[in-house]
Structure 1
Amino acid sequence: MRTFATSVTDLRQEFTGDFDTFPYECGWADEAIYFITAEDQTPADARIDLRVQLSADGIRWLDEGTTLSLTGPGATFARLTHFGGFLRLAGTTTRCTLTIRLVLKG
């Protein structure tokens, strides 16, 4: 029987400029999916650029290689494997409100 967990890492969190999301320890999992929902942006068609980062210790972060972008309200996702101990998203935007969920299976 596999273990399954869903966590809301950022709930309707406002981000401006360069930002990092809440890091999550997930070394036990074999696979992860980030679900990102953009609820509000200023201006309304503002671009949100995101990249997945991983870390062995939760302190030093490296870009994993997966990138995502949203323009205007909407949703996207990223599937991940082989990610080490911790995951987070790093991004840049003018101003936005995001809800980010991390689904883990192991």
Structure 2
Amino acid sequence: MSAAAPAAGGERESGRGAISRLAAGLALAATPAFAAMAVFTALAGEGPMQAMCAPHGLPALGGMAPMYALMSAFHLGAWLRFVADRPGFRGQDATPHPPSR
């Protein structure tokens, strides 16, 4: 059997670029997914055990909804980097204009 030839530099770089784009997409998907899970969990309620263990008249601070909200906040960094890298952010103009006189 013959061994396959090693990938050319361009193929290796394009593979790394694809993996990098996939990782960036997954990082961007985490925040809205966790936020949606926090909302759905909060709307569904915690059930009878949570009602029994929580102090009367006060909402419980534990449970899955606050955890999902925190996870959403912790993954917000990817969105902040995404927005900061966009043209037009921090005075970076997307279209060049002729200098004014």
TM-score scaled by structure 2?
Answer: 0.18
Q: Give the strand-richer structure, 1 or 2.
A: 1
TM-score scaled by structure 1?
Answer: 0.17
